[in-house]
Amino acid sequence: MHTIEPFYNWRHLYIASEDERSPFYERTYSEFEFTNQIYNYLIHPQWDQFGSDTLYCKILYVNYDEHFCIIEMLGEWNDCLYNDIMFFKRNVIEPLEDEEINKFILIGENVLVFHSSDDAYYEEWFDDIEEGWIVFINFRDHVIQDFKDARLDYYIAMGDPFTEVTWRRYSPSHLYKKINDWFAKRLPE
């Protein structure tokens, strides 16, 4: 797992540790020292720890004018044992919501498994963003099924058409536009 790096091709556009409004502002990273791990597997030092023992993230891009962010995830999403959603909601999502972010794109190619608990934090997140949305792109099929089995698809858009998005080909703004257009087509006028 130590070779799985967060996507870095947008670093010329945005770096969370240099953004005063980011929950990871002024965080320092080592390129040589591996200090974080998921169970007994070391992970790349560029991933951000937010309170969970098994789930890490990287804010790849934030656009405060358009009110959206793109976050890449890594690890085991375990609400049952570790209440990962609480840590994620309180330590990452809420600071972004305080900055008027209400559209969240989460990339889950590297989320290996999901263990559910209750839906309270997901419902709160959904209620907090009113005019916004939450979308999971490229999560593995079995992980999506676990989210659906927990009935979290009421709060989060997932599955088709978001299972095989070639997001690395797009700029962050283009990716946002494609997803936002999809939501605009779904909503009745």
Q: Tens place of pLDDT for every residue, the chain, 189 residues?
A: 778 999 999 999 999 999 999 999 999 988 778 888 999 899 999 999 999 999 999 999 999 999 999 999 999 999 999 999 999 999 999 999 999 999 999 999 999 999 999 999 999 999 999 899 999 999 999 999 999 999 999 999 999 899 999 999 999 999 999 999 998 876 554
**Taking Cα atoms as reference points, which of 26, 28, 96, 23 lies closest to residue 63?**
96
pLDDT of residue 188: 52
Residue 138 makes CB contacts below 8 A (sequence gap 6+) with 107, 108, 109, 162, 163, 164, 165, 167
Tokens of 183: 């939501």
pLDDT of residue 166: 95
pLDDT of residue 187: 53
Please, what are the domains in the chain? 16-186 (3.30.750.24)
List phi, psi (to 5°) of 111: -90, 115
pLDDT of residue 33: 86
pLDDT of residue 48: 97
Side chain identity at residue 27, one-letter code:
R
pLDDT of residue 13: 98
Side chain identity at residue 134, one-letter code:
I
Side chain identity at residue 159, one-letter code:
G
pLDDT of residue 183: 85
Compute CA 20 distance to the chain's CA centroid, rounded to the nearest angstrom.
19
- What's the whole-model pTM score? 0.96
Tokens of 78: 């375990």
